[in-house]
Amino acid sequence: MDKHKQETLSSPREVIRSRRKNLAYRAEISLFAARSVTLALMMVVILGGIFGIAVMKNNDMSPRISAGDLMLYYRLEKDLTAGDIAVFIKEGRRYAGRVVAKGGDTVEITKDAELMVNGSLVVENDIYYSTPQYEEGISYPVTLEQDKYFILCDYREGAKDSRFFGAVSKKEIKGKVITVIRRSNL
């Protein structure tokens, strides 16, 4: 230690004051570190257990959700109703689609590309595309078992949805989309 520092810290009061200052500084750093770790753990719990984020990989849900948009979904909501957008896993891949029917409902897609649920024509004002049957898909009419959903994409021509792989089970539902963060056309 140089002579100047030795002279300034020579009195016991100054030594005590210096040590208290160092202890206070260390306490502030410890508190900051503890708060940072707590915040990080809370984010992991919130984003890992309560909410999820998915990127829309294609235009299957256009024009409402475009390729590249982020979907924030609520993982704890598994009882969906017609019109809800769900994120689900099918064939090992993540998809998003709109629920059109649930357990107990009978779904039919006519040769004229019209969607019928329980014998009634479904009028979807926000869907701009026809709903054709797929040759390699399922056969109609389909009565859904309990805890199953019939999910269609908004872009109905060529999208992979329940017309292709059948009903989606409640176990395959990852959550209900609650908001979309636009990343496309920025």
Q: Summarize pLDDT for 82-135 with one digit per residue, the tens.
A: 999 999 999 899 999 999 999 999 999 998 889 999 999 998 888 888 888 888
Q: Which pLDDT belongs to residue 13?
A: 84
Nearest-Å Rg of the Cα atoms of the chain is 28
> Cβ distance 86 to 99 under 8 Å?
yes
Burial class (CB in 10 A: 0-12, 13-18, 19+), 101: buried
List pLDDT tens digits, range 29-72: 888 999 999 998 888 877 778 888 899 999 899 888 989 899 99
Structure-model confidence comparison of residues 80 and 129, the more confident one: 80
CB-CB neighbours of 131 under 10 Å: 21
Alpha-carbon distance 156 to 30, whole Å?
56
Q: Which pLDDT belongs to residue 163?
A: 92
Q: Which pLDDT belongs to residue 139?
A: 85
Alpha-carbon distance 81 to 150, whole Å?
10
Burial class (CB in 10 A: 0-12, 13-18, 19+), 157: exposed
